[in-house]
């Protein structure tokens, strides 16, 4: 069997192998009417690679791709990889301040934007960064270059991609993934999920989010089609869109499935082609799974666990579900997950501790953040392999099934996305009139509640929400703001979150 | 029509998290800017169907159906 992850060839190899095997198969389709076969995608990626080489891009230079979900995003990332560069996909919903914080770390040579994101660059000094705008001449002329037909000059151990996500300090961190990390984990995920050549994968997660991004690679490896949707389409029209695109596999986070369930209350969903869903981000409640199976008979449900620092830890197969429904499955083939105690010693099966992961999927580290890298990516001894300390707690049973008990304290999961409470609190304290801020999540309905004290007693909650909307993307805006006359404190002066939590039900 | 609008506003308001309680909601205000995202639109769709005792056909739904109060009025009127 022809498998990219055994042959090597990194990210470019995923595309070029697929384009050789089935050049005329549909690869990408988006809601703007762009439809590309594998051969067409490779041709465009090679043109973009030629442009980048001509523009002086050297191996290891960064290309920032700041686009809404659309087919060109894949062209840009494959082209960057072919040219030996490192790509980073930046969420179209980022506000200028958040974008600037990431650009100052990534220092890209080129940034690709479109009509939905170009306004974000106003007020940012591009310096030596070249700006290309999809839909305008700058992008069109880059793709008018003669395709660069050389081999990929990079090497499997090179950094391929930076995925910016919430760090432990409130500053976004770029998880640095090598070509080998990506190619290996794509193969290992495919071993479990079994995407097929006729599949149409529904891409409704942001492509800046790692599991959204990986749908490009997973589809390529299987020779499947990726419908490049958008998170904004997870609304009232979702069933119609899934039907029209012929989606067979729907990767998502629990809120995507909650949307389907809510819409299923109105009448039959009528999605005969949808055969599987693959859940990530946070635990899919058992009640959701039962409801989805009732609404969509024969649906296969894959429960998974992971974190960007290794992409995927474990996948529970549908056939294992009945006997192990309280677990998130076993670690991927060729990788290992185990629990350790506070001193880092491996615990016996069934005992709960911090989950630690080893394998070729463990990232190189955080981009230009040596201290945070050393904290999570540890080498126990000079001669031992790197272990990824996830910060999550759980246990692993004798058969290798992982039971997950609590997320890391450094971030929370909100609608499947990793969010740093510290980042939101820090921004809130920048707002005129706000003195102190504490963000809490109400778990029952996954809503965010921001408690603030104010120097101005007339401070309106909606004023705080709107001000946060100027600097943070919508997913980070609290659902409710409560203005307190006094912030509860513990004896040592820290904000007393337990007392605040008791007020969440108010 | 005026009755519909008033009843409609009562149903829509709770789904707009950035709208201040005392703030007026005009027929052409951009509801997306007031916090009505795609997920909140689903809750609103269900609330409209229940509140008016109607079933809105999927064919009636467009990308703009929940853009403004005015658009929602059209949607509701077309389904009565």
Domains of chain A plus CATH, in order, are 8-176 (3.40.50.980), 189-406 (3.40.50.12780), 412-501 (3.30.300.30)
Calpha distance A178→A157 (Å, rounded): 6
Q: Are strands A353-358 and A336-340 parallel, antiparallel or unpaired?
A: antiparallel
**pLDDT tens-digit map of B46-70:** 999 999 999 999 989 998 999 999 9
| pLDDT band (50, 70, 90) for residue A340 | very high
**Residue A7's pLDDT band (boundaries 50, 70, 90)?**
very low
Residue from the list B18, B37, B62 with its beta carbon closest to the beta carbon of A462: B18
Residue A153 has pLDDT above 80, yes or no: no
* H-only helix segments in A361-400: 370-376
Separation of alpha carbons A235 and B12, rounded Å: 16
- Rounded to 10 degrees, the C-alpha dihedral A362/A364/A365/A370 comes to 140
Q: CA separation (Å) from A106 to A55, A68, A102, A157?
A: 18, 19, 6, 19
Q: Which of A236, A238, A262, A271 to probe the B interface (max B CBs under 10 A)?
A: A236
Q: Do A237 and B19 touch (CB under 8 A)?
A: no
> Are A236 and B55 an interchain contact pair (Cβ–Cβ within 8 Å)?
no
* Cα–Cα distance list, A148 to A48, A119, A135, A138, A153 (Å): 8, 31, 22, 18, 12
DSSP A247-278: --EEEE-HHHHHHHHHHHTTS----TT--EEE
For A50, phi then psi, to 5°, come to -65, -45
- pLDDT of A302 reads 97
Q: Give pLDDT, residue A8.
A: 58
Q: What is the pLDDT of chain A when averaged over all its residues?
A: 93
Q: Say if residue A271's pLDDT is above 90.
A: yes
- Cβ of A239 within 8 Å of Cβ of B58? The answer is yes
Contact A235 B18 (CB under 8 A): no
Phi then psi dihedrals of residue A441, to 5 deg: -105, 130
Chain B environment of A267 (Cβ under 8 Å): 55
pLDDT tens digits, A71-102: 999 999 999 999 999 999 999 999 999 999 99
> What percentage of chain A has pLDDT greater than the value 70?
98
Element (H, E) at A131: strand A130-133
Confidence of residue A495 (pLDDT cuts 50, 70, 90): confident
Which residue blocks in A223-361 are alpha helix, DSSP H?
A: 238-245, 254-264, 286-295, 318-321
Number of Cβ within 10 Å of residue B33's Cβ equals 12
Check CB contact under 8 Å for B38 and A462.
no
Residue of A nearest to B38 (CA): A235
A246 φ/ψ sector (left φ>0, alpha ψ -120 to 50, else beta): left
Closest Cα in chain A, distance from residue B70 (Å): 18
Closest-CA residue in chain A for B61? A237
pLDDT over threshold 80, residue A356: yes
- Cβ(B42)–Cβ(A259) below 8 Å: yes
Cβ partners under 8 Å of residue A319, min gap 6? none
A255: chain B residues, CB-CB within 8 Å: 39
| Residue A293 near chain B (CB below 8 Å) | no
> Any chain B CB within 8 A of the CB of A469?
yes
Q: Which runs of E-coded beta strand occur in A364-411? A: 365-366, 377-379, 386-396, 402-406
Calculate mean pLDDT across residues A406-418: 81
Contact A236 B39 (CB under 8 A): no
CB A474 within 8 A of CB A93: yes
**Phi-psi region at A414: left, alpha or beta (left = phi > 0; alpha = psi -120 to 50):** beta
Residue A3 clears pLDDT 80, i.e. is over it: no
Of the candidates A235, A267, A480, the beta carbon closest to that of B38 is on: A235
Contact between A235 and B58 using a beta-carbon 8 Å cutoff: no
Domains of chain B, earliest start first: 2-79 (1.10.1200.10)
Residues A209-236 have a mean pLDDT of 96
Inter-chain CB proximity A259 and B19 less than 8 Å: no
Q: Is the pLDDT of residue A2 over 50?
A: no
For residues A363 and A292, give the distance between their C-alpha atoms in angstroms, rounded to a whole number.
34
Give the pLDDT of residue B1.
Answer: 60
**pLDDT at position A178, please?**
98
**Whether pLDDT at A345 is above 60:** yes
Q: Do A236 and B65 touch (CB under 8 A)?
A: yes
Query: Closest Cα to residue A361, out of A309, A304, A302?
Result: A309
Q: What percent of chain A has a predicted confidence (pLDDT) above 90?
A: 80
User: Each residue of A11-22: b (16+ CB within 10 Å) or e?
Assistant: bbbbbbbbbeee
């Amino acid at each position: 069997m022809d498998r990219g992850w055994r042959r090597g060839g990194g990210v470019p190899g995923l595309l070029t192998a697929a384009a050789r095997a089935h050049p005329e198969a549909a690869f990408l389709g988006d809601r703007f009417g762009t439809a590309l076969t594998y051969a067409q995608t490779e041709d465009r990626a090679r043109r973009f690679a030629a442009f980048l080489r001509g523009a002086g891009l050297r191996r290891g230079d960064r290309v920032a791709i700041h686009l809404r979900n659309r087919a060109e995003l894949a062209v840009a990332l494959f082209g960057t990889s072919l040219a030996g560069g490192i790509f980073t996909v930046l969420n179209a919903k980022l506000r200028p301040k958040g974008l600037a914080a990431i650009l100052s770390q990534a220092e890209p040579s080129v940034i690709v934007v479109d009509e939905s994101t170009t306004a974000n660059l106003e007020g940012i000094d591009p310096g030596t960064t070249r700006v290309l705008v999809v839909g305008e001449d700058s992008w069109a002329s880059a793709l008018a270059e003669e395709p660069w037909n050389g081999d990929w000059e990079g090497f499997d151990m090179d950094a391929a991609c930076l995925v910016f996500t919430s760090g432990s300090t409130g500053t976004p961190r770029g998880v640095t993934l090598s070509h080998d990390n990506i190619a290996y984990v794509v193969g290992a995920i495919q071993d479990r999920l079994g995407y097929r050549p006729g599949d149409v994968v529904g891409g409704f997660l942001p492509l800046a989010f790692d599991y959204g991004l990986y749908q490009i690679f997973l589809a390529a490896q299987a020779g499947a089609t990726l419908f490049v949707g958008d998170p904004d389409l997870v609304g009232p029209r979702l069933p119609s869109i899934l039907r029209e695109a012929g989606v067979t596999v729907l990767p998502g986070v629990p809120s995507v499935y909650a949307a389907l369930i809510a819409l299923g209350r109105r009448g039959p969903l009528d999605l005969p082609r949808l055969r599987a869903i693959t859940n990530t981000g946070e635990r899919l409640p058992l009640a959701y799974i039962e409801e989805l199976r009732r609404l969509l008979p024969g649906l296969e449900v894959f429960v998974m666990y992971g974190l960007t620092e290794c992409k995927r830890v474990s996948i529970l197969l549908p056939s294992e579900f009945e006997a192990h429904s309280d677990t998130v499955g076993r670690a991927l083939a060729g990788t290992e997950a185990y629990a350790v105690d506070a001193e880092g010693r491996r615990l016996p099966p069934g005992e709960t501790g911090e989950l630690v992961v080893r394998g070729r999927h463990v990232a190189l580290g955080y981009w230009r953040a040596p201290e945070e890298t050393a904290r999570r990516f540890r080498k126990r001894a000079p001669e031992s392999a790197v272990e990824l300390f996830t910060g999550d707690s759980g246990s692993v049973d004798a058969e290798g099934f992982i039971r997950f008990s609590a997320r890391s304290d450094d971030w929370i999961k909100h609608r499947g996305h990793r969010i740093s409470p510290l980042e939101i609190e820090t921004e809130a304290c920048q707002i005129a009139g706000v003195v102190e801020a504490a963000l809490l999540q109400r778990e029952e309905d996954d809503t965010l509640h921001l408690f603030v004290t104010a120097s101005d007693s007339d401070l309106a909650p909606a004023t705080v929400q709107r001000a946060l909307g100027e600097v943070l993307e919508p997913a980070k805006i609290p659902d409710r703001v409560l203005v307190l006359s006094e912030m509860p404190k513990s004896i040592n002066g820290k904000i007393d979150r337990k007392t605040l939590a008791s007020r969440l039900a108010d | 029509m005026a009755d519909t609008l008033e009843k409609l506003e009562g149903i829509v308001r709770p789904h707009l998290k950035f709208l201040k309680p005392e703030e007026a909601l005009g027929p052409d205000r951009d509801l997306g800017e007031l916090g009505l995202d795609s997920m909140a639109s689903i809750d609103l769709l269900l609330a409209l169907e229940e509140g008016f005792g109607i079933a809105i056909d999927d064919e009636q739904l467009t990308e703009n159906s929940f853009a403004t109060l005015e658009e929602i009025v059209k949607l509701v009127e077309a389904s009565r």
